[in-house]
Structure 1
């Protein structure tokens, strides 16, 4: 038999980063809040699996030190962001080339000064023009490294093309937000062609970079999302959270009052004043916030639009000898295999591998074909220039609903208030990114508190007991 009704000011359905961030804002405002999560742990898609001392992200979205949401969201003040080496390492024609090192790049601590950009919608800067001189590629031990020239396999084109790319990144980092917001919206692939950079630079650098940042190999994503991603790349450094992707939801959960989050509780229906669960019956409340993924949200809110998704497969390997690419993100400018991007992540974050072991994490975009691990090994042998046949496979994880497809026309501020008392948030309400999920939670919380006028708690939250067997 189920226990009687329980009360709270707000019930949040879903303990991903959007739901936990919203709960943190609500409890900080003095609002009694209950978070209900169907899974047995918090985090949703931002999960990290532990295997033999390794920490393996299920999806592992790339973050930037320039994302102010990662520093300014309540509960994430102590989040440690560990940066990759500056720019990216492009592999083309058997060589590595360092690219995308802009003057705006800074370490993890530099992101603390990004408060003014918190609510900005970023976009690509206006047409580039020649400016600073070209950057020479960084030498990788054991590899032949050359200055990119106008030949087959050179991803950045001529020295003039490289200068234009550097000028574009510099202008992008400093363009006023009003100018960025005024740019027309196109699919990202079309926007790249329309903005004046040489085809070699677009195909050899921007396409593989954006595919990795957006998890969209065909670049059908709205140019607004692409602009946001490129702006963050130009202003900061690509990075990973220390300890794995789970560090974000776990820090948010620890910042909540004890007893706020309840896992293993399946919500079956919602209204503006109650939530019904399979395990504990009905929770009565003053408002309900749905913070699940888009598909689960639509099951509770019939009529809510469900976007398409970009599937992602992540393959984790370990080897006794680390490839000599340092802590770089490696992209294949030739697009000669299934791997979109790869890195020796234990060089970026040593906590992800046991002492003396190496963790190589590679991402495949789209639905994986048969024998994905063998195809990935073959591709990695070319990208790293070392034999991979003896690498040990730790995990192959495929997520079909990994990233919401954000095709144009796109509203970066999708409504979060459905009715007075019923709200929704998540990455499907914003830019389809981790910062987008956090921004949507902030918007939903603000709308909820305004509607309900919660200057003081409405109820005293009762503890949630374990359901008794019949």
Structure 2
């Protein structure tokens, strides 16, 4: 496809003219541009930073792949299947299920057909009693086969209330769902919309959580590579919207019949002050390195005492995340980094990995202030992107906090733009 990015700002008036300007080259903006271009509409994407992806970017730090915050990729999402089929992401899967650190050691909750040894944990009652096993089977069977539109129409309530209504005991919710879902929704009260929970649970049952071998940033790079050359202009922040397009920070006027704001929540609220932007969750991930892996499997590990959201030996999932002879562990916590917080993590990490984490080297820290929108009930799963004549906004804050939600919001923006342009 060629290079989708055009560096610099020295372009002719003809090149500047587009039917639509998309502000932001995250997955929502890229998906929107894909659909507009497929319909024959001229599109230019203006991105303020030096690369595509928004929050889905990866860096190289001393030979290690560092995603900007711990992330996983679910290839079963409908928008992902539509846009990235056969794209060569070289996905590396996590183990199905989750490891749970309890007061009596690590336990595994997963499909026993994949790990027959987990029957011991299940049937012995170490993780769940008969009532919870029956409820888990019924929930999973129902959500796995239910059409998404049916899940979206269910009466909404908190996830905790939905789990209680499904027959789970408080003890099992505290032992499994709370520590596991805290890392999924970045909150520790299970106050997220039950509609969102059921859709996420369905996607997990139907897909395998994975990571691209070169980092999560490979996903938006693959989307950008599908666009015609010079569609994306990097390092071109937009200062304001004008009556007939946008004005960049360098005072360049870029005309367009329609403008789609596909930025993060902060810039979106600045460019379109009349929109309502939800609150966002903050998450910090600490990346530690050591000579060898403290756990020999590509598993997600959570803690019943909830001293962290989750932890994972990333180099077990994708060996390319670390140089030969080194291991990389990512551990995430709610909130921002603070003095002494990383040091306080070493004791629980030593415990859950059964090793001496004091010897680990802290490689880097990543705090994401707008990691995930708050999705309390009643949660609108899709909102119009149309703000005013020729003005649109898309992103996970207009749908659900996921790659699927961001792409679906971008797709909806494209549909509404095309309708308003008479296309």
Give me the TM-score of the superposition, normalised by structure 2: 0.90
Contact 1:14 1:35 in 2 (8 A): yes
1:8-157 → structure 2 map (5 Å cutoff): 8-73=18-83, 77-101=87-111, 136-137=117-118, 149-150=124-125, 154=126, 156-157=127-128
Instruction: Quote how far apart the aligned CAs of 1:236 are.
Output: 2.1
Higher share in helix: 2
| Alpha carbons of structure 1 residues 55 and 406: separation in structure 2 relative to 1, 3 Å | same
Q: Are 2:403 and 1:434 equivalent residues in the alignment?
A: yes
Aligned to 2:220, what secondary structure does the other structure show? helix
Post-superposition offset of 1:4: 8.0
Structure 1 residues 158 and 342, CA, compared in 2 at 3 Å: closer, same or farther? same
Look up the match of 2:344. 375
Quote the residue 2:231 is aligned against.
260
TM-score for the superposition, normalised by structure 1: 0.82
Whether the aligned pair in 2 keeps the contact of 1:84 and 1:239 (CA below 8 Å) is: yes
Partner of 1:111: none
Task: State the shift of 1:190 in Å.
Answer: 2.6
Task: Give the structure 1 partner of residue 6 of structure 2.
Answer: none
Give the 5 Å matches for 1:270-309: 270-271=241-242, 273-309=244-280
Answer with 403-412 or 369-378: which moved more.
369-378
Between the aligned partners of 1:84 and 1:357, the Cα distance in structure 2 is 19
Q: In structure 2, what is the equivalent of residue 116 of structure 1?
A: none
The equivalent of 2:184 in structure 1 is 213
Gapped runs of 5+ residues in structure 1? 106-133, 139-144, 455-470
Query: Do structure 1's residue 396 and structure 2's residue 365 form an aligned pair?
Result: yes
SS at match of 1:386: coil
Q: How many residues align?
A: 413
Question: In the aligned structure 2, how far is the partner of 1:283 from the partner of 1:178?
Answer: 39
Please, which runs of 5 or more residues in structure 2 have no aligned partner? 1-8
Deviation at 1:219, TM superposition (A): 2.3
Q: Which moved more, 1:354-363 or 1:64-73?
A: 64-73
Q: Is the 8 A contact 1:416 1:425 kept in 2?
A: yes
Q: State yes or no: 1:249 paired with 2:259.
A: no
Asked whether the 8 Å contact 1:75–1:255 carries over to 2, the reply is no
1-side partners of 2:152 and 2:112: how far apart?
Answer: 22
CA distance in 2, matches of 1:288, 1:50: 34
Deviation, 1:171, is 2.8
Deviations 1:312-358 (A, max 9, x none): 001111111212240111111232x2x21111111111121112211
What is the alpha-carbon distance in structure 2 between the residues aligned to residue 232 and residue 137 of structure 1? 22
Q: For residue 282 of structure 1, report the CA deviation from its aligned partner.
A: 0.6
Map Cα deviations across residues 213-246 of structure 1 (whole Å, 9 max, x no partner): 1122222221121121111122222222331111
Deviation at 1:364, TM superposition (A): 0.8
The equivalences for 1:337-376 within 5 A come to: 337=307, 339-376=308-345
**Cα drift, residue 80 of structure 1:** 3.5
- In angstroms, what is the RMSD of aligned CA positions? 2.5
Stretch deviating more after TM superposition (257-266 or 367-376)? 367-376
Tell me the CA shift for residue 102 of structure 1.
Answer: 7.3
